[in-house]
Structure 1
Amino acid sequence: MSTEDAAAQAVSEPRQPRRRRWRRILAWTSVGVVVLLVASLGTAYAYYRTLRANMVQHDLETALNEEERPPKIGDDLNILFIGSDKRTGDNAKYGGRDFVGERSDALMLAHISPDQGVTVVNFPRDSLVQLPACEPYQGTDGTEGYYGMINAALFHGGPPCAVKAIESLTDIRIDHFAHLSFVGFRDMVTAIGGVQMCIPQPMEDERSHLDLDAGVQVLDGEEALAFVRARYEIGNGGDIGRIDRQQMFLGALADKATSSDVLTSPSKMSGLLDAISRNTQTDDELTLDRMISIGSTLSDVELSDITFYTVPWWPAPSDPNRVVWDQEKAERLFTAINNDESPEAAALETAPSTPSTTPSAPSSPSYPAEPSTEPVATTASPSAGNVIEGRDATSNPCVNGLGAGTESEQRLP
């Protein structure tokens, strides 16, 4: 072996162990990355399974008679949101403990359309309507059909009865429902770090524990819940003014929930999903997977594409503390939604009607016993009824002059 060859061998030999050592390091690093990835996926999947296990779901297909339901029209999606006033468990702190059963403190139909954006219709809880017959369901007694308050449907037959009532009154097929408690709403707002609102004037309501100063401020979960529940000491004390405030808040909530501040925060997103899964009941087809799919579909929706309406109404002739629907205008609103059309366009296409007197109530009203210590609202204003109201989610009471608790001025004849 030449001197050059020996030198070359002497130089090359120490390098072979180093190469083998680096290969081992790379191999173990790769294994470690794979293990961490699998562990992360396993943790995520376990968390996902936990979220799904937390949700209470109802079989609408079994609970409702398909032959009595409206047909499905088009590819749009109709979701009924039911805000419950149940006063047991963690919800007991928000009302009297002698409150029996639960009724819908808020009823909202969200129509999600590929062409028209999102249309949300609020049904006043003080509405007197023809309720359908409902079978007993999970501890409820069921009911025969009768003329009474719309919020009693949940009391008589649980979420399926509430769905049946809205379908029978609107002829709109409900694809899904979400039933949310006071605590669930509070925890959702808390999870995303509160919601910024502009309060035009100081607001106090002892029953809902609301005490807010005027001005721009971030409402935490407790304050937000008090804001959307308050009515007795604000405005005329009626449900219509409260709906107005709820619509304003939901617009601000949508803005915050879709902001990068929430979407890029793992802690806020996990907190939001946990609050939803623990406190929301749905139909068995509105799974967490389905929710995520709907959320993905709505990712490109602008706030200006979300419009809120309240069913047109009149003060009830039989009781000034209740309301009845303006059937002609309500039918135009429901028909527009069913046909996936703009409610504004539908309103303009049909000449308005202005009856000289408020409509009479259906014959033979009867009211089954509904145990409650809840006081009635104060007298409603008749001027609010003869309109189809619309507000997009960007409405700001400090900018457009709509004081929290007043009624929207964006109206159609």
Structure 2
Amino acid sequence: MSDDAPVPAPDAPAAAPTEPPRRRRRWARVLGWTSGILVVVLLASVGTAYAYYRSLRSNMVQHDLGTALADEERPPKIGEELNILFIGSDGREDGNADYGGRDFVGERSDSLMLAHISPENGVTVVNFPRDSLVQLPECSAYEGSEGTYGYYGMINAALFHGGPPCAVKTIESLTEIRIDHFVHLSFVGFRDMVDSVGGVEMCIPEPMSDERAKLDLEAGEQTLDGEQSLAFVRARYEIGDGGDIGRIDRQQMFLGALAAQVTSSKVLTSPSRMTSLLSAVTEYTATDADLSLETMVSIGSTLADVDLHEIAFYTVPWWQAPSDPNRVVWDEEKADQLFKAINNDKSVTDAMLETGKPEEPEASPSADPSPSYPAEPPTEPVGQQSGTEEDSITGRDATSNPCANGLGLGTEEE
């Protein structure tokens, strides 16, 4: 104490502190311990969750694209946006056999979708019709597949010839878009994913029935479970004209509804549903080895900021193949504009693609490969394709209401 400090008079009572020092120190210790415990619990929870997610990731089949595909033969990477190829497989192994009409060896892509994920322009999803006749590239043998020479045939045969790497190579060669990652999903995986989020709420414009796909739905608002959802996106032969384009419309409708369901608070705030979703994804899904947990978290963070109006669906512009009414060929001019817009991370609008109906080509390359090439896998019969070039390039966002606009059933004259 300073010599100059005033000394209180002996008879003056000492000023009482507002709180006893001992009590104050005790509360400080309690708060400190509580904060420390909360930090430890939080870190432990994060660490446990991280370890759990890593264990789930280790259960997934992973393919090394870097080894399977020569980098110098692939399109260059443009920008920081992500391009993910989703491959829906029609393989009949394990539980998938319940959904096959007949046995066959190998697998083909029942659906092919490219998702372009951009922080600036949302998400653009492009469907590639499985009945498309395209120039398939040469693919090496891969994990039991025999590989193939390049030939002109159906796009869904790429998976049969060379597994996921050949499917990736095919899309890259046709679009000049670098595929950053791929997700290979089976029928059972799709079914369980839908069930894990509690089903998907949809409005069915009119009764739908397809015995082959085991589909039987009444019209109106309803929640589709995994089995019903799988039947809905697979049905084609007894709905509309039986073509793949109508089925793509229904798939896009469903994906829009699924996006709304997954991004709703019902799923994102439910640990049990999130755990079930992740378990279903990892158990029945294969990816490229570079699709790490950190990358998944980054993608999830980007998608969390995407409004449903910023998710747009397109189908590659097409017209009926002159050589085969059950196949389609691409409108190369419009398709090129679509692919360039994606590659340069520009918003795809109808105005960009409205270049006028192209003249029908005088001749189409033969759909039959040379006898010296590997045989195309057996394919199921397909119905007459519906739609026009103008119809096929019209995009829709994830908020489209099927009951309001009648999209997806393919029953109206187009």
So what's the TM-score if we normalise by structure 1?
0.87
Equivalent positions of 1:333-352 (< 5 A) are 333-344=338-349, 345-348=351-354, 351-352=355-356
Residue 250 of structure 2 contacts residue 407 of structure 2 at CA under 8 Å; is this kept in 1?
Answer: no
Matched, 1:189 2:199: no
Give the C-alpha shift of residue 385 in structure 1: 6.2
* CA distance in 1 between partners of 2:244 and 2:129 (Å): 6
Match of 1:75 in 2: 80
Matched, 1:291 2:296: yes
Residue 246 of structure 2 contacts residue 408 of structure 2 at CA under 8 Å; is this kept in 1?
Answer: no
Residue 246 of structure 2 contacts residue 386 of structure 2 at CA under 8 Å; is this kept in 1?
Answer: no
User: Kindly tell me: are residues 120 and 29 of structure 1, through their superposed partners in 2, closer, same or farther at Cα, counting changes over 3 Å?
Assistant: closer
Residue 210 of structure 2 contacts residue 216 of structure 2 at CA under 8 Å; is this kept in 1?
Answer: yes
> What's the secondary structure of 1:81's corresponding residue?
strand
Which amino acid letter does the alignment assign opposite residue 134 of structure 1? Answer: C
Match of 2:174 among 148, 164, 169: 169
Give the C-alpha shift of residue 29 in structure 1: 8.2
Match of 2:364 in 1: 361
Match of 2:307 in 1: 302
> What's the secondary structure of 2:326's corresponding residue?
strand
* CA distance in 1 between partners of 2:278 and 2:288 (Å): 17
User: Kindly tell me: are residues 245 and 407 of structure 1, through their superposed partners in 2, closer, same or farther at Cα, counting changes over 3 Å?
Assistant: farther
* CA distance in 1 between partners of 2:337 and 2:43 (Å): 54
So what's the TM-score if we normalise by structure 2?
0.87
Equivalent positions of 1:168-247 (< 5 A) are 168-247=173-252
Give the C-alpha shift of residue 296 in structure 1: 0.3
* CA distance in 2 between partners of 1:30 and 1:337 (Å): 48
Match of 1:158 among 160, 163, 166: 163
Q: Alpha-carbon deviations, 1:33-79, whole Å to 9, x = none?
A: 78766764554344223212111111111100111111111222111
Residue 253 of structure 2 contacts residue 408 of structure 2 at CA under 8 Å; is this kept in 1?
Answer: no
Match of 1:401 in 2: 406
Q: Alpha-carbon deviations, 1:137-165, whole Å to 9, x = none?
A: 01110000001000000000000000000
> What's the secondary structure of 1:290's corresponding residue?
helix
Match of 2:152 in 1: 147
Give the C-alpha shift of residue 331 in structure 1: 1.1
Match of 1:312 in 2: 317
Residue 244 of structure 1 contacts residue 406 of structure 1 at CA under 8 Å; is this kept in 2?
Answer: no
* CA distance in 2 between partners of 1:184 and 1:199 (Å): 23
Residue 101 of structure 2 contacts residue 212 of structure 2 at CA under 8 Å; is this kept in 1?
Answer: no
Q: Alpha-carbon deviations, 1:351-373, whole Å to 9, x = none?
A: 32431x3553225741743444x
Residue 244 of structure 1 contacts residue 408 of structure 1 at CA under 8 Å; is this kept in 2?
Answer: no
Match of 2:255 in 1: 250
Which amino acid letter does the alignment assign opposite residue 252 of structure 2? Answer: Q
Matched, 1:118 2:145: no
Match of 1:7 in 2: none
> What's the secondary structure of 1:282's corresponding residue?
strand
Match of 2:20 in 1: none
Match of 1:89 among 85, 94, 98: 94
Residue 357 of structure 2 contacts residue 389 of structure 2 at CA under 8 Å; is this kept in 1?
Answer: no
Which amino acid letter does the alignment assign opposite residue 362 of structure 1? Answer: P
* CA distance in 2 between partners of 1:398 and 1:39 (Å): 47
Give the C-alpha shift of residue 24 in structure 1: 11
> What's the secondary structure of 1:71's corresponding residue?
coil
Residue 228 of structure 1 contacts residue 242 of structure 1 at CA under 8 Å; is this kept in 2?
Answer: yes
* CA distance in 2 between partners of 1:108 and 1:167 (Å): 13
Give the C-alpha shift of residue 408 in structure 1: 11
* CA distance in 2 between partners of 1:334 and 1:111 (Å): 10
User: Kindly tell me: are residues 403 and 39 of structure 1, through their superposed partners in 2, closer, same or farther at Cα, counting changes over 3 Å?
Assistant: closer
Give the C-alpha shift of residue 112 in structure 1: 1.2
Give the C-alpha shift of residue 337 in structure 1: 1.2
Greater shift in the superposed pair: 379-388 or 176-185: 379-388
Residue 199 of structure 1 contacts residue 404 of structure 1 at CA under 8 Å; is this kept in 2?
Answer: no
Q: Alpha-carbon deviations, 1:265-314, whole Å to 9, x = none?
A: 00000001111111111111112221111010111111111110001111
User: Kindly tell me: are residues 97 and 53 of structure 1, through their superposed partners in 2, closer, same or farther at Cα, counting changes over 3 Å?
Assistant: farther
* CA distance in 2 between partners of 1:296 and 1:199 (Å): 31
* CA distance in 1 between partners of 2:119 and 2:29 (Å): 54
* CA distance in 2 between partners of 1:188 and 1:158 (Å): 23
What is the CA RMSD across the aligned residues, in angstroms?
2.7
* CA distance in 1 between partners of 2:386 and 2:304 (Å): 38
* CA distance in 2 between partners of 1:275 and 1:46 (Å): 17
User: Kindly tell me: are residues 33 and 238 of structure 1, through their superposed partners in 2, closer, same or farther at Cα, counting changes over 3 Å?
Assistant: same
Give the C-alpha shift of residue 198 in structure 1: 0.5
Q: Alpha-carbon deviations, 1:63-111, whole Å to 9, x = none?
A: 0011111111122211111000110101111114522101100000011
Stretches of structure 2 lacking an aligned partner (at least 5 in a row): 1-22
Greater shift in the superposed pair: 35-44 or 327-336: 35-44
Match of 1:392 in 2: 397
User: Kindly tell me: are residues 408 and 394 of structure 1, through their superposed partners in 2, closer, same or farther at Cα, counting changes over 3 Å?
Assistant: farther
> What's the secondary structure of 2:258's corresponding residue?
helix
Residue 54 of structure 2 contacts residue 293 of structure 2 at CA under 8 Å; is this kept in 1?
Answer: no
Match of 1:324 in 2: 329
Match of 1:5 in 2: none
User: Kindly tell me: are residues 375 and 47 of structure 1, through their superposed partners in 2, closer, same or farther at Cα, counting changes over 3 Å?
Assistant: same
Stretches of structure 1 lacking an aligned partner (at least 5 in a row): 1-17
Residue 236 of structure 2 contacts residue 243 of structure 2 at CA under 8 Å; is this kept in 1?
Answer: yes
Provide the identity percentage: 70
